[in-house]
Amino acid sequence: MAENLAVMDEDEVHADRVAAILDAVEAEDAARITELMEPLHAADIADVLEQIGSGARRALLALWSGEIDGEILSEIDESIREEVIESLPHSVVAEAMRELDTDDVVDILEDLDLPQQGLILDALEDVDRIAVQQAMGYPEESAGRLMQREVVVAPEHWTVGEAIDYLRETPHLPDQFYHVILVDPRMKPTGYVTLGRLLSSRRDVLLRDILEDSFRTIPATESEADVAYMFNQYHLISTPVVDVTGRLVGVITIDDAMNVLDEEHEQDMLRLAGVGDESSLSDGVWATAKQRLPWLVVNLFTASISAFVISRFESTIASLVTLAALMPIVASTGGIAGTQSLAVAVRALATRSLTSANAKRVVLRELVGGLLNGLALACLLGLAGTLIFGDWKLGLVLGAAMITNQLVAAMGGVLVPLGLHRLKLDPALASGTFVTTLTDVLGYLAFLGLASMVLL
């Protein structure tokens, strides 16, 4: 309770701040805008830009463009980043890009149009431009795109003292690094030492004697989803990235992996709900409508299958119209059960807890679980039907259809995502539509089919 109150208060503080900024924008009071924006973290400034309308955003940027730095640009959601970059003077963008590490430049660049990409690449210094272009050579959403190229390495024969002296003498160390990576003469990483270990060891200790157990490397072509999984599974903090020949080409740190994990979750949740995964709250009305229309249209067709099934039973319904009122109960409860199984299965596939090793057992568990819940619901609904309509046969039909459909839902909810996974497709994608179509069609079929046999 207290924690939620705190959140609400924070929300109000935030809303008041945004209102004050909008007032200042309307008054064209650049000094006041600076006063309000200055104390904010780049991530919070990006949030403000995302949460105001595009008109206000343009006006704010016109008054305050000089203050937009690289960090703010890399925090801004990709849905409005292009718009923001377009509305900034070229010199501001160029200056902002030069401040950033190459991995952040790549992250910004990959979502832009080619002409904008060219402008930004031109603004970079030669060495950075080459680094960025090399990174862009790796597949999208790969470790190569995610990694920072700035690494801290030491030869295998160094001592703690030599490493510390080297670090003190090196003028441009990466903003963040957590290990000194040991490399062989061909730049192949062979182990790493944490900075804590380095700091707490005597100067004459050999680096190779204080290596960490957790050491592993990531191929540059590995998918970023796999990278995020690996960081979360093995509690990694930073990990060297190697090319096909095993040479060190960069390093990925946990904050980037956490970001990917967050985006993967968003994707799963939105895909499960049938929303394009590029969706964002800053999208305009047209973009929003367009992202969602495809699955709505697909659903229009799949729902027509249900309609067709029902239409085959029109004579049954005509002779007992109550059936039309009762049939959605069976179908919709099946839909909920299917969605439940589905969410558990999609999550389990994402965390790799559902594998070929236990797939059979999980399917069996779902089946028996579906049967149990089907029985419980059948008793409830069957009894209610019998009592309300004074017809035990109707109660029986309701109950039997409910059990059938709960079994279908339990099966569909786990087999559909498993099947998509086997086909090397995203299990979250389209699963929802498949499963609810299944539970709808078979729910209507079971109920009306049984009704036409038993009741008429």
- Counting DSSP H helices and E strands in the chain, the numbers are 21, 6
Q: Least distance to its own copies from the beta carbon of 370, Å?
A: 8
Q: Residue 67, SS3?
A: helix
User: Whole-number minimum distance, CB 266 to its own copies, in Å?
Assistant: 6
Judged by CB, which is closer to its own copies: 114, or 199?
A: 199
Q: How many CA atoms lie within 13 A of 262 on its CB side?
A: 6
Nearest-approach distance from CB 134 to its own copies, in angstroms:
20
Least distance in angstroms from the C-beta of 89 to its own copies: 26
Q: List helix spans (H) across 214-272.
A: 224-234, 254-272
- 94 and 108 Cβ atoms separated by less than 8 Å: no
The H-assigned helical ranges of 27-41 are 30-37
Among residues 132 and 331, whose Cβ is nearest to its own copies? 331
Rg (alpha carbons) of the chain, rounded to whole number: 29
Give Cβ neighbours of residue 235 (< 8 Å, ≥ 6 apart): 214
Q: Which is nearer to its own copies, 123 or 397 (CB)?
A: 397
Instruction: Using alpha carbons, select from 84, 131, 138, 144 the residue that is nearest to residue 121.
Output: 131
Q: Which is nearer to its own copies, 123 or 218 (CB)?
A: 218
The CB-of-62 to its own copies minimum distance in angstroms stands at 20
* Tokens standing for residue 136: 């862009």
User: What whole-number distance in Å separates Cα of residue 223 and Cα of residue 234?
Assistant: 17
Nearer to its own copies, 126 or 213 (CB): 213
- Max Cα–Cα distance, the chain, nearest Å: 94
Alpha helix (H) ranges present in 204-354?
224-234, 254-272, 285-311, 314-319, 322-350
Q: To the nearest whole angstrom, how small is the minimum distance from the Cβ of residue 325 to its own copies? A: 4
Whose Cβ is closer to its own copies: residue 123's or residue 346's?
346
**Residue 63 or 80 with smaller CB distance to its own copies:** 80
- What is the nearest approach in angstroms of its own copies to the Cβ of residue 60? 13
Nearest approach, Cβ of residue 129 and its own copies (Å): 25
Q: Which residues pair with 183 in a beta bridge?
A: 155, 189
Residue closer to its own copies by CB (options 127, 321) is 321
Round to whole Å and give the CA distance between 46 and 6: 22
Taking a C-beta distance cutoff of 8 angstroms, is the pair 316, 425 a contact? Answer: no
Smallest distance, its own copies to C-beta of residue 124, A: 23
Q: What CA–CA distance (Å, rounded) separates 396 from 144? A: 61
CA neighbor of 302 nearest in space, from 324, 274, 279: 274
- Residue 168 Cβ, how far from its own copies at the closest point, in Å? 6
What span, in angstroms and rounded, lies between the C-alpha atoms of 257 and 206? 31
Nearer to its own copies, 73 or 123 (CB): 73
Q: Which is nearer to its own copies, 194 or 386 (CB)?
A: 194
Using H for helix, E for strand and C for coil, what is the string for 82-140? HHHHHHCCHHHHHHHHHHCCHHHHHHHHCCCCHHHHHHHHHHCCHHHHHHHHHHHCCCC
